[in-house]
């Protein structure tokens, strides 16, 4: 009681100085909290990016190795591949050595261009690994549709070369709806795919694609010359370039091909959930051993591949922000210590008198430390307030962050020139735009309070060290 009365009176008496020290600590811890909040916001944004790429609940993905890029005009086409050849009678569509006139024809091919296929049995093998909770296969495919004008390639024809219509199609393992890219999507209309759809020609369409192609629930789309009925429209958390359509995995396997080979009993992506977060690294290593030729990616390794402003913001928060906040914090601690020392210096007579009348040094030190901690708590409160204000400013002025993940090399699309020549066009990177929003967590607030109190304690410790060494006779004679 007396302790608190004394403490309160001293703080009130030295209000201005207490406020200066508290403000110094507040700026320091406030900046630390802002940096942590910004960093958490960036991490959250990265997490959103990763979940949009991975799907919620996926810890590890396994993808087939990237196919080698074909060299234009070199070597025979792979078995089963469709090629366009120009000749005197016009353009020809050729497959397995058989050719027919391209004019008026439509090529519709669902293929795996990003990754080489992985045997479906690998999914079961991965699922059986000790630290794996669940594994689901998926097919990440592209449907390319080209329709040739009826007079295409004929002498005197003015038809422009056909422009391909391409869209992404993901084959979804309906036995594991909580894994894979569809798991993070929100249903806008209709429904999602369900296990009874395994062999049905039904599709769920991304809302952006649905809008641009005027699709809605009940509409039909053609995938590899097969008509699919749209049963739902979904949105993903961030704008970006998600797959345009989701179809049952079994249907994707039946229709898809890679390098002219059917994808039956194949996948090109395996989505894996580890038994616990601590097991992710182990799982990655186990899978890398099990499937040595394939690419094993974790959220953290994927995060390191991300470029763009989200990555720049993360680097800024981690590097500049961290050092700046440490610098300000140290400066605040030093200023607080010096001011507290100066304050104690002015109270030498007071402490000398208290020692003379029988106060133990420990009690006086506790009194000074109590005052410093109280100032620290005030600093923490102001600092947290400053942090909330800073975060509000960040949220108000921060632009959307873009995160770009380079797709696996080897994703190419063959376009056809008027003379029948081929060229390779790499597919665009996967770019996701995420809102930058700093997040103040309870942990950050606790850290602010602890830091401010630590600052107060540090400042008080120097002063206490001085008081501890103070002999009452010195203190009293200094006054006399």
Give the footprint of another protein on this chain (CB under 8 A). 1-2, 5-6, 9-10, 12-13, 349-350, 352-360, 363, 471-473, 476-477, 479-480
Q: How far is the CB of 362 from another protein (least distance, A)?
A: 9
- Which residue, 265 or 477, is less far from another protein as judged by CB? 477
What secondary structure letter does DSSP report for 240? S
CA distance 246 to 172: 6
Residue partners of 239: CB distance under 8 A and separation at least 6:
208, 432, 433
CB of 459 to another protein, least distance (A): 19
Q: Which is nearer to another protein, 380 or 475 (CB)?
A: 475
What is the smallest separation between the CB atom of 44 and another protein, expressed in angstroms?
Answer: 48
Q: Which is nearer to another protein, 324 or 366 (CB)?
A: 366
Q: Choose between 211 and 477: whose C-beta lies nearer to another protein.
A: 477
**Closest separation in Å from C-beta 348 to another protein:** 11
Least distance from C-beta 17 to another protein, angstroms? 13
Work out whether strand 269-274 and strand 132-147 pair parallel, antiparallel, or are unpaired: antiparallel
Residue 381 Cβ vs another protein, minimum distance, rounded to whole Å: 23
- Nearer CB in complex with another protein: 251/355: 355
Helix, strand or coil, per DSSP, at residue 412:
strand
Of the two residues 331 and 356, which places its CB atom closer to another protein in the complex?
356
Rounded least distance, CB 453 to another protein, Å: 23
* DSSP tag of 159: P
Least CB distance from residue 464 to another protein, whole Å? 16
In this complex, which beta carbon is closest to another protein, that of residue 449 or of residue 470?
A: 470
> Dihedral angle at the C-alpha atoms of 145, 151, 152, 153, nearest 10 degrees?
160
At closest approach, how far in Å is the CB of 4 from another protein?
12
Residue 225 or 363 having the CB closest to another protein: 363
Cα dihedral value 374, 378, 381, 387, nearest 10: -120
Determine the Cα–Cα distance for residues 41 and 434; give it in Å rounded to an integer: 10
Closest CA to 38 of 366, 434, 391, 407: 391
Cα separation, 171 vs 154, in Å, equals: 39
Q: Nearer to another protein by C-beta: 306 or 339?
A: 339
> Are 203 and 213 spatial neighbours (Cβ–Cβ below 8 Å)?
no
Confirm if 236 and 185 have CB atoms less than 8 A apart: yes
Spatial neighbors of 393 by CB under 8 A, at least 6 apart, are none
User: Residue 299 has which token pair?
Assistant: 């959220």
Could you say which DSSP state residue 105 is in?
A: -
- CB–CB of 45/311 below 8 Å? no
Cα 196 from Cα 212, distance rounded (Å): 29
């Amino acid at each position: 009681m007396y302790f608190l009365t004394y403490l309160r009176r001293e703080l009130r008496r030295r209000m201005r100085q207490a406020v200066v020290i508290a403000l110094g600590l507040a700026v320091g811890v406030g900046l630390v909290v802002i940096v942590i909040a910004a960093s958490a916001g960036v991490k959250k944004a990265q997490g959103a990016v990763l979940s949009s790429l991975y799907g919620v609940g996926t810890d590890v993905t396994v993808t087939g190795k990237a196919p080698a890029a074909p060299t234009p005009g070199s070597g025979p086409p792979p078995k089963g591949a469709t090629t366009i050849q120009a000749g005197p009678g016009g353009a020809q569509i050729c497959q397995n050595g058989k050719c027919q006139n391209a004019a008026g024809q439509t090529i519709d091919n669902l293929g795996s261009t990003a990754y080489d296929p992985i045997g479906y049995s690998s999914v079961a093998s991965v699922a059986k690994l000790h630290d794996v909770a669940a594994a689901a296969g998926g097919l990440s495919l592209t449907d390319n549709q080209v329709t040739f004008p009826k007079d295409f390639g004929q002498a005197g024809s003015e038809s422009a070369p056909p422009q391909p219509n391409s869209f992404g199609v993901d084959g979804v393992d309906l036995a594991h709806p909580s894994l894979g890219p569809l798991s993070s999507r929100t249903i806008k209309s209709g429904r999602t795919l369900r296990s009874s759809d395994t062999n049905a020609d039904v599709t769920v369409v991304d809302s952006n694609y649905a809008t641009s192609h005027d699709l809605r629930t009940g509409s039909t789309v053609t995938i590899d010359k097969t008509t699919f009925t749209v049963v739902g429209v979904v949105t993903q958390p961030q704008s970006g370039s998600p797959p345009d359509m989701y179809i049952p995995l079994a249907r994707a396997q039946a229709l898809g091909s890679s390098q002219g080979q059917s994808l039956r009993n194949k996948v090109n992506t395996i989505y894996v959930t580890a038994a616990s977060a601590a097991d992710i690294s182990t799982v990655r290593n186990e899978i890398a051993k099990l499937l040595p030729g394939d690419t094993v990616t974790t959220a953290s390794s994927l995060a390191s591949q991300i470029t763009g402003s989200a990555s720049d913001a993360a680097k800024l928060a981690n590097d500049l922000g961290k050092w700046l906040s440490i610098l300000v914090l140290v400066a605040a601690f030093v200023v607080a210590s010096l001011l507290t020392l100066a304050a104690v210096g002015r109270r030498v007579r007071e402490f000398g008198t208290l020692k003379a009348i029988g106060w133990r040094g420990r009690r006086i030190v506790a009194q000074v430390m109590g005052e410093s901690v109280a100032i620290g708590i005030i600093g923490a409160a102001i600092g947290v307030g400053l942090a909330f204000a800073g975060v509000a400013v960040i949220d108000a002025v921060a632009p959307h962050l873009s995160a770009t993940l380079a797709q696996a090399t080897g994703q190419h699309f063959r376009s056809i020139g008027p003379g029948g020549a081929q060229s390779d066009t790499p597919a665009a990177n996967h770019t996701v735009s995420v809102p930058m929003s700093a997040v103040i967590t309870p942990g950050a607030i606790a850290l602010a309070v602890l830091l401010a109190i630590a600052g107060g304690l540090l400042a008080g410790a120097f002063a206490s060290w001085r008081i501890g060494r103070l002999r009452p006779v010195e203190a009293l004679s200094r006054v006399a």
